[in-house]
Chains A and B, each alone.
Chain A
Amino acid sequence: MLSGLTVSERHAALFVLGALALVGLAMAVAGQGDPLAVHGYIVLAFSLALGFAVLSVLFAPEPPESRLSEYYDDPTRVGIILSLAWAVAGMFVGVWVAALLAWPELTFVDSAWASFGRLRPVHTSGVIFGFGGNALIATSFHVLQRTCRARLPDQFSPWFVLIGYNLFCLVAATGYLMGLTQSKEYAEPEWYADIWLVIVWVVYFLIYIRTLQRRKEPHIYVANWYYMAFILVVAVLHIVNNLAVPVSFGHAKSYSLFSGVQDAMTQWWYGHNAVAFFLTSGFLGMMYYYLPKRAERPIFSYRLSIISFWGITFMYMWAGAHHLHYTALPQWVQTLGMTFSIVLLVPSWASAGNALATLNGAWHKVRDDATLRFMMVAAVFYGLSTFEGSFMAIRAVNSLSHYTDWTVGHVHAGALGWVAMITFGSLYALVPWMWKTERMYSPRLIEVHFWLALAGTVVYVFAMWNSGIIQGLMWRTYNDSGTLAYSFIDSLVAMHPYYIARAFGGLLFLAGAVVCCVNVGMTIRMARRAQKAEAGGDVPVLAPAGE
């Protein structure tokens, strides 16, 4: 795969990896006695290992000119595999931490890194950034080339984005285990990881814009609007929210530039829009390409796509304040946040409706094809969780739901039902195209995965709805004498059965992801065998035995 790079691209790769190794070395030296040094060694080892891989093909012949007549899909293939690996790892940790809440003494290892507080962000980042992010990068490269009818501008920068992004994920995850976090939800990695991500992200944007400029289609396809919004706005959010001053260049620790109220508003402006532009816009890009493609029907309404896109892009940025109802944030901001959150339902449902209406006339395919069914259910969950989101933004509802498991349930209805399902659906469509097989290894296993995923999501979400609403109601129940009826610990005890149910739901979902890995792995093997058979022709298979 690496020998597909041109000689000058290999040189560029070596140069970048050399520079990265030096950065790692500098971190290791400057960070003596600080976890920063550990990250220095990780970066150093990472870049040296890749450097050797590049060195081993340095003198291989130039790839043939014919490569330019094909799209460049190697990064997409690797991205799919990385995405699935992160999915299993992230979901495994998720089940683990869910079990810890039901049985707190269930620590296999009684050491700091295995504590709930440090594992929890590994789950969050592993699933959102590892699984989701890799899937977005992989699919965006695929969609971009097809919809522009143009090859990626070069072969090095896509690798830089994919590998560089995974280095970010690796640094983030290992950092959490060492206790490195800036405690901002969804923005937990420390300053140097943040800076690295900005560099990766700028290259990602440049790939996008350069390919768009090379396009042979007059129009920019709808999916690319969403991918573009995802790349651009995530960059803006990431940079502003992560403004911080490190203790020194030898310290991993930093202090946020903002404090108190301003920090809370910035954090939720970021946090809510990480949901909007990472977990919604990016995956809508996926949906707008793979769903019509798989259903073999054009998208239902172009006009709805336009309304939905600009509505989401404009309105989501106002909505973050609804996370701060009844807090010390000035009330006019809370009210603005609530208002826009409610109106947001319109563009959200425009997309959900657009997707479902696209399936009109293709419902028999939804019945027979689990891949398409994944996408259909994803669109339904998208509609459900955006409705729930608008509902929860209402002050009175929020006073009950906030701080409870209802929020956790809501987030997972979106994460499992929408994000993961649209991703699995898209991957099942994409894998056979990428490895040039007629279909996935086993359609029956897709069916098994679908039911595991759906059952897992339903169990999880209902458990958390119950637990959240019970929790919220117990906190505010008064008895006849006008005093609070329950202590906090009473409400905690009431959660126990739901925490067990949640761990079980998560386990089902994880099992589904494992089934998916098996299926993808077997499909790749099937493709390799077919290739070998083609290349080998009729070479005799009889080998002399015993010699």
Chain B
Amino acid sequence: MKEFFHRKIERNAIGFVLAIVGVASIGGLVEIAPLFTIHETVEDAPDMRLYTPLELAGRNIYIREGCYACHSQMIRTLRDEVERYGPYSLAVESKYDHPMLWGSKRTGPDLARLGGKYSDAWHVAHLMNPRDVVPESVMPRYGWLKTNALRIDDLGEHLSAQRTVGVPYTDAMIEHAVADARGQANPDGNEAAGVSERYGEKTNVRAFDGNPGLLTEMDALVAYLQIVGQLTAAAHQEAAVKEE
């Protein structure tokens, strides 16, 4: 019977094509579609904040240089990982990450809780030559970040593209994207106030690469690295609840 059916289908090209597409679609539909509809997939985190334009630019440099291939940003629920890196990652923490950077390989350590762990100066030295601060490191040098001026004229367009895919940037954020990027890396300038106004008092506003005069790619990348894992405190709260 089964044999008979198959003999029929393998003589009919269109039928065969449809059968392949049908059979292959089931798994994806069952596993992916509910993730968009089931509410429990992503927790609520009322304190969640957005990436500033400068941090977003830094994230794009992180992607551009392929950092994701060697550093994960996903702490699993295993005891040794929690002890080494910090509270395990929650879904909500990458809610605004288009795309996610969970990674699949750790040639270097996980970065999900990197923000605030080291000083800006450490990050700059590490990116200039990793072996200056970690002699055994096999990471490449990224010297050009310190001299490349950051492109900011199009940051408004970046923010509005982000809004199109679902990140709730406001009109004011999009309008002031360029000024906010400048302001965040120049605490003494008059554009700095707007950044904390729009993104919260706790936003890091400082000359990340140590030079407030020039806005470099280093500023952006360090600003991003200092915010990784800091968009919400939800993971720390969950860990505290468990310990009680």
User: Among the listed B38, B93, B130, which residue makes an inter-chain contact with A330, where contact means beta carbons less than 8 Å apart?
Assistant: B38
Q: Does B16 contact A (CB under 8 A)?
A: yes
Q: Of residues B6, B69, B137, B162, which shows the largest number of chain A Cβ atoms within 10 Å of its Cβ?
A: B69
Q: Does A179 contact B (CB under 8 A)?
A: yes
**A257 CA / B16 CA spacing, docked (Å):** 31
- B13/A100 in contact, CB under 8 A: no
Q: Does B134 contact A (CB under 8 A)?
A: yes
A165 → chain B, closest Cβ, in Å? 21
**A340 CA / B31 CA spacing, docked (Å):** 12
A interface residues, Cβ below 8 angstroms from B = 33, 100-102, 104-105, 107, 110-112, 115-118, 120-121, 179-185, 209, 212-213, 218-220, 225, 228-229, 232-233, 236, 240, 244-248, 251, 253-267, 269, 303, 306, 310, 313-321, 323-330, 333, 336-337, 340, 399, 402-404, 407-408, 475-476, 478, 483-484, 488-489, 492-493, 499
**A170 CA / B65 CA spacing, docked (Å):** 19
- A260/B95 in contact, CB under 8 A: yes
Interface string of B51-78 (1 = CB under 8 A from A): 0000000001001111111101010111
A397 → chain B, closest Cβ, in Å? 13
Q: Does B170 contact A (CB under 8 A)?
A: no
Chain B residues lying within 8 Å of A408, measured Cβ to Cβ, are 105
Q: Does B107 contact A (CB under 8 A)?
A: yes
Q: Does B241 contact A (CB under 8 A)?
A: no
**A111 CA / B140 CA spacing, docked (Å):** 11
- A267/B99 in contact, CB under 8 A: yes
**A259 CA / B95 CA spacing, docked (Å):** 6
- A263/B76 in contact, CB under 8 A: no
B230 → chain A, closest Cβ, in Å? 16
- A115/B142 in contact, CB under 8 A: yes
Q: Of residues B77, B81, B138, which shows the largest number of chain A Cβ atoms within 10 Å of its Cβ?
A: B138
A406 → chain B, closest Cβ, in Å? 10
Known contacts A259-B95, A263-B100; decide if A117 and B136 are in contact (CB<8 Å).
no
Q: Does B27 contact A (CB under 8 A)?
A: yes
Query: Which B37-56 residues have C-beta < 8 A from chain A?
Result: 38, 40-42
Closest B residue by C-beta to A235: B21
Known contacts A269-B32, A313-B20; decide if A101 and B10 are in contact (CB<8 Å).
no
- A263/B97 in contact, CB under 8 A: yes
- A116/B140 in contact, CB under 8 A: yes
A150 → chain B, closest Cβ, in Å? 12
Q: Does B211 contact A (CB under 8 A)?
A: no
B117 → chain A, closest Cβ, in Å? 13
Closest B residue by C-beta to A102: B138
Q: Please name 25 pairs of A and B residues whose Cβ atoms are closer than 8 Å in the assembled complex, sorted by A.
A: A104-B131, A116-B66, A116-B140, A117-B65, A179-B64, A179-B65, A220-B11, A225-B16, A233-B20, A255-B99, A259-B96, A259-B97, A260-B94, A260-B95, A264-B100, A318-B30, A319-B27, A329-B91, A330-B35, A403-B103, A403-B106, A475-B84, A488-B109, A489-B137, A499-B138
Interface string of B84-95 (1 = CB under 8 A from A): 100001111111
**A248 CA / B150 CA spacing, docked (Å):** 18
**A248 CA / B28 CA spacing, docked (Å):** 30
What size tier do the contact residues of chain B reach? 35 or more
- A236/B21 in contact, CB under 8 A: yes
Q: Does B125 contact A (CB under 8 A)?
A: no
**A316 CA / B24 CA spacing, docked (Å):** 8
**A242 CA / B226 CA spacing, docked (Å):** 29
Known contacts A220-B13, A263-B100; decide if A255 and B31 are in contact (CB<8 Å).
no
Chain A residues lying within 8 Å of B141, measured Cβ to Cβ, are 107, 110
**A262 CA / B166 CA spacing, docked (Å):** 13
Chain A residues lying within 8 Å of B134, measured Cβ to Cβ, are 489
Closest A residue by C-beta to B141: A110
Closest B residue by C-beta to A488: B109
- A107/B136 in contact, CB under 8 A: no
Closest B residue by C-beta to A476: B80
Closest B residue by C-beta to A111: B144
- B35/A118 in contact, CB under 8 A: no
Closest A residue by C-beta to B7: A219
**A330 CA / B35 CA spacing, docked (Å):** 8
Q: Does B154 contact A (CB under 8 A)?
A: yes
Which 10 pairs of residues, A with B, have the shortest CB-CB distance?
A: A117-B66, A317-B27, A318-B27, A326-B76, A260-B94, A179-B64, A256-B99, A328-B91, A212-B13, A403-B106
Closest A residue by C-beta to B90: A328
**A115 CA / B96 CA spacing, docked (Å):** 28
Q: Does B36 contact A (CB under 8 A)?
A: yes
Known contacts A260-B42, A263-B99, A265-B32; decide if A476 and B78 are in contact (CB<8 Å).
yes
Q: Does B139 contact A (CB under 8 A)?
A: yes
Interface string of B123-157 (1 = CB under 8 A from A): 00000001100101111111110000001001001
Closest B residue by C-beta to A185: B104
Q: Does B240 contact A (CB under 8 A)?
A: no
**A285 CA / B12 CA spacing, docked (Å):** 18
- A236/B24 in contact, CB under 8 A: yes
Chain B residues lying within 8 Å of A182, measured Cβ to Cβ, are 63, 99
User: Among the listed B38, B72, B90, which residue makes an inter-chain contact with A403, where contact means beta carbons less than 8 Å apart?
Assistant: B72
Chain A residues lying within 8 Å of B165, measured Cβ to Cβ, are 244-245, 255-257, 259
Chain B residues lying within 8 Å of A102, measured Cβ to Cβ, are 138
- B78/A120 in contact, CB under 8 A: no
- A323/B104 in contact, CB under 8 A: yes
Known contacts A247-B161, A261-B35, A262-B35; decide if A399 and B17 are in contact (CB<8 Å).
no
- B35/A265 in contact, CB under 8 A: yes
Chain A residues lying within 8 Å of B190, measured Cβ to Cβ, are none
Chain B residues lying within 8 Å of A313, measured Cβ to Cβ, are 20, 23-24
Chain A residues lying within 8 Å of B157, measured Cβ to Cβ, are 247-248, 251
